[in-house]
Structure 1
Amino acid sequence: MISASETDNPASRPPSSAPARTLAALAATALALVAAFVLAPGPLAAATGPRGDFGSQQALGNAFGKAFVGYWNSGDPHFPAGLQSIVDYWFRYHVVKAAAASALLAVLIAISVLLRRSAGALVAILAIVAAALAMANIQGALAPFSSLLPMLPTGAPRGDLATAVVQIREHLAHYPNQGGPPAPAVKVMVDDFGVYHAVVAVATSLIAVVLITLSVLSWKRRAQRGMIWFGIVFTLSAIAVLVVAAANIATTADPAPALLAFFQGSW
């Protein structure tokens, strides 16, 4: 028989399965969020706006290319209705991705805290990847027009797009000193490109501060099992993020050369 004293002794009780169940639930949630990140943005972006689903990235790129040429030829700083609908769709698309990536980051941090040891360091690496995905999609949501630009075949444009790209290169090569005010569309593109990189500059600077703090704390506790792995991961990640932050701060200060490099096909 089990005595009353043995029953009251916490050491004699069987271990709780709560952490294992919590980890299983968090792992399932992480997998669901990965699936949502990949599969949900297109349908949700299409369902929450007036513009229907484009069906594929190629179809979206083709629609954007035509709308972009029309915008450039209009001479108006304001997006025409067709281009605005594409930009709005792309904004919603990135909002969904950013939400999924941010939720995934929170879940991975929780798993890493529960694991604590070397396996936790591996999950911490995955959390850093999730943070990068969240940052990239927040960037896309805050500057959706610039986020769409990589869909243009600027390296080898054809037809009306080729003409537009040549003209844009000429304007950007002397921006903003062109003997007169810059073309309205060029100013819009330069300003939006600056915002596009400013978002990353701010986000990476904040992430760098967090990573440096975690790195210092990990190295101080390196005697504890598994903490040295956290120290290595956080230190290397902090260095990489600082490099990205510096590059984006420089581009934010003067976005025109980087935008010119993009339209020359070398960005």
Structure 2
Amino acid sequence: MTSPPRPSPPAVSGRAAAVLAAVVAALVVAFVIAPGPLAAAGSGGDLDTLRGSFAEYWAAGEGELSPALRRTVEYWFDYHLAKGAIAAALLVVLAMLGVRLGRAYLRPGTLPAGRRGVLAGSGAFVALLALFALVVVMANIQGAAAPFASLLPMLPGGLLAQPRQQLAGALHAGGEASPALQAMIDDFGRYHVTMAVVASLVTAAFAVLTVVLWRRYQRTPRDDRRARRVWVTLGAATALVSLAMLTVAVANTTVAADPAPALLAFFEGGW
């Protein structure tokens, strides 16, 4: 008895793919130019006063942020929020576009070599862009969760000299950290806790996706070489991403467990 024919994936709509590609381009432009104005409109702050407001905060020695530094931190929070939201929208649209390209590539029948190559190349490019968008979403979640810590790399080394000396004394000579320095340590720890949690969730998601793709590969008939090649390639890629994200999760968990030495390494130029 012959087995019933497999249902073919629906053909990709050239118009729909073009619309999705246009949306991708628009979101990329918005990602570059929109976060700054949106953050400024929401918080009323900017980065121009960062150096002066941080110097004022450090001189006061209090754990609570000064009003000027708080406005800058709120601006940076809004900036990460806008950037992360745009990147998340970009990730969704890229996923939709990738699915359409994949369906067109896997559609039964003989594709001209040129069209097959274009679909394969476009699909690979979309997948890489989607991975980049995912990383950007993760980084902006981290930055929004700990905006003060994510501002520290923007400060010149001269402004960080005193925090570095005080932290080194606290770690190596039994000195005490001022409330201002302790607030920096706490936010630095929160910065890495956030990434540890986010990277762990992404690790689990890609591990599940790897299993799903492997099972899809196993269920695909051996004579359908094109589909089997797609599933095994995607499965290998998701497995590698899962391992990379696991490494990120472990590294950030280690820092989050004891953030002060890592913060000192950052102050000394090693982070």
TM, length-normalised to structure 1:
0.81
Name the residue aligned to 1:129. Answer: 132
Query: Secondary structure of 2:49's partner?
Result: helix
Distance 1:38 1:103 in 2: 14
Q: 2:206 aligns with which of 206, 211, 222?
A: 211
Deviation per residue, 1:53-78 (Å, 9 max, x gap): x5xxxxx3x62122111111101111
Q: 1:100 aligns with which of 79, 86, 105?
A: 86
Displaced runs of 4+ in structure 1, greater than 3 A? 117-122, 174-181
Distance 2:268 2:262 in 1: 10
Deviation per residue, 1:212-251 (Å, 9 max, x gap): 1112222333352421221222122112111111111111
Deviation at 1:131, TM superposition (A): 0.5
Name the residue aligned to 1:240. Answer: 244
Contact 2:12 2:100 in 1 (8 A): no
Query: Secondary structure of 1:265's partner?
Result: coil
Tell me, which stretches of 5 or more residues in structure 2 are unaligned? 1-9, 106-119, 221-226
- Percent pairwise identity: 47
Name the residue aligned to 1:35. Answer: 29
Name the residue aligned to 1:80. Answer: 66
Deviation per residue, 1:144-163 (Å, 9 max, x gap): 11111000122xx2xxx2xx
- Pairing 1:145–2:140 present: no
Deviation at 1:194, TM superposition (A): 0.7
Distance 2:237 2:43 in 1: 41
Contact 1:176 1:182 in 2 (8 A): no
Query: Secondary structure of 1:221's partner?
Result: helix
Q: 1:115 aligns with which of 98, 101, 104?
A: 101
Distance 2:264 2:171 in 1: 12
Deviation per residue, 1:118-139 (Å, 9 max, x gap): 4434422221110100111111
Q: 1:169 to 1:28 in 2, by over 3 A?
A: same
Name the residue aligned to 1:69. Answer: 55
Distance 2:38 2:80 in 1: 10
Match for 1:183: what amino acid? S
Deviation per residue, 1:76-131 (Å, 9 max, x gap): 11111111111111111111100000011111111122222544344222211101
Distance 1:227 1:63 in 2: 51
Name the residue aligned to 2:255. Answer: 251
Deviation at 1:174, TM superposition (A): 4.8
Q: 1:189 aligns with which of 184, 187, 191?
A: 184
Deviation per residue, 1:3-57 (Å, 9 max, x gap): xxxxxxxxxxxxx987322222211111111111101011111122323xx5xxx
Tell me, which stretches of 5 or more residues in structure 1 are unaligned? 1-15, 55-59
Bigger Cα displacement from structure 2, 252-261 vs 217-226: 217-226
Contact 1:91 1:141 in 2 (8 A): yes
Contact 1:121 1:229 in 2 (8 A): no
Contact 1:98 1:134 in 2 (8 A): yes
Deviation at 1:177, TM superposition (A): 8.5
Distance 1:34 1:50 in 2: 25
Query: Secondary structure of 2:43's partner?
Result: coil
Contact 1:190 1:255 in 2 (8 A): yes
Bigger Cα displacement from structure 2, 193-202 vs 23-32: 23-32
Contact 2:170 2:177 in 1 (8 A): yes
